């Protein structure tokens, strides 16, 4: 991606791409600003909104066992779909192969060994640590829906394997992109995506540009997301440009 130019009153500011100094910086940004997961790109018709359950979410490897792995982030969306997020920098060689097996381990065990009560308790503890009201945070996401009903949907989605696996990096390597696209086409109801969050800096300013990868036409068709093709005519073509 070429540079980005920020137009200000006194002229253009050229923003040049810069890698993150540490993986933890990107992890903290995602925890603080979940919208970097680009929910509007994941689902344009119903943009995904996010509830952070926890950073460093433990994943057990057996029934009632202690945590064997640690997931970077666990989010829930407004449809109660658990969204597992793993963050790597593009310079980390593990992003090309090891991270895929790692994520599949997390998801395969999470759907079996994550009691919804533990997820809810983890969310409430995290809110307490951040000194925010857990009920208020949940209400922002689900509106008037009953909380008990929402957590019940989380449990149902886990039992059905309806989860979303998301790889996040400053740059998604071609090898990982191909794997993500392949898995997303093959897996249903699970979803596999990658999100690039590129960083541009210039004159003390910083811009973050997320982009979702993995939503091929075939994957959308397999998951029943394909919408009818719009039929264009002269009026519909010019309407956005010259509204009546």
Indicate the length of the chain as a whole number: 244
Look at residue 162 and tell me if it is in a domain. yes
Q: Is 65 exposed, middle or buried (0-12, 13-18, 19+ CB in 10 A)?
A: exposed
Question: What domain range includes position 222?
Answer: 4-238
Torsional sign, CA 48, 52, 54, 60: negative
Look at residue 171 and tell me if it is in a domain. yes
Look at residue 244 and tell me if it is in a domain. no
pLDDT (tens digit per residue) in 12-30: 899 999 999 999 999 999 9
What are residue 196's DSSP bridge partners? 169, 211
Look at residue 195 and tell me if it is in a domain. yes
> Is residue 14 within 8 Å of residue 5, measured between CB atoms?
yes
107-110-113 Cα angle (round to 5): 150
Look at residue 49 and tell me if it is in a domain. yes
pLDDT band, residue 236 (cuts 50/70/90): low
**Mean pLDDT score across all residues of the chain:** 90
Query: How far apart, in whole angstroms, are the C-alpha atoms of residue 63 and residue 240?
Result: 55
Look at residue 123 and tell me if it is in a domain. yes
Please name the residue ranges forming H helices in 43-88: none
Look at residue 243 and tell me if it is in a domain. no
Look at residue 220 and tell me if it is in a domain. yes
Query: How far apart, in whole angstroms, are the C-alpha atoms of residue 239 and residue 29?
Result: 38
pLDDT (tens digit per residue) in 112-156: 999 999 999 999 999 999 999 999 999 999 999 999 999 999 999
Provide the domain count of the chain.
1
pLDDT (tens digit per residue) in 49-66: 999 999 999 999 998 889
Instruction: Please list, in sequence order, all residues whose beta carbon lies within 8 angstroms of the beta carbon of residue 175, skipping any fewer than 6 positions away.
Output: 96, 97
């Amino acid at each position: 991606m070429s540079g980005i130019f920020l137009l200000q009153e006194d002229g253009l500011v050229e923003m040049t791409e810069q890698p993150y100094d540490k993986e933890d910086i990107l992890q903290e940004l995602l925890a603080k600003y979940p919208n970097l997961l680009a929910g509007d790109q994941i689902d344009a018709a119903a943009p995904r909104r996010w509830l952070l359950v926890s950073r460093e979410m433990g994943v057990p490897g057996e029934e009632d066992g202690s945590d064997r792995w640690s997931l970077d982030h666990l989010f829930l969306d407004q449809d109660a779909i658990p969204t597992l997020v793993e963050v790597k920098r593009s310079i980390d060689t593990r992003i090309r192969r090891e991270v895929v097996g790692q994520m599949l381990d997390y998801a395969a065990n999470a759907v079996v060994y994550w009691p919804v009560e533990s997820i809810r308790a983890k969310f409430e503890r995290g809110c307490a640590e951040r000194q925010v009201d857990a009920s208020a945070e949940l209400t922002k996401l689900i509106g008037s829906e009953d909380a008990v009903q929402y957590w019940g949907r989380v449990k149902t989605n886990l039992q059905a394997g309806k989860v979303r696996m998301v790889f996040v990096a400053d740059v998604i390597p071609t090898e990982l992109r191909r794997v993500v696209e392949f898995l997303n086409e093959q897996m249903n109801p699970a979803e596999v995506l990658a999100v690039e969050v590129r960083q541009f800096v210039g004159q003390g300013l910083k811009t973050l540009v997320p982009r979702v990868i993995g939503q091929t036409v075939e994957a959308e068709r397999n998951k029943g997301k394909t919408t009818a093709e719009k039929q264009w005519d002269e009026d519909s073509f010019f309407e956005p440009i010259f509204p009546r």
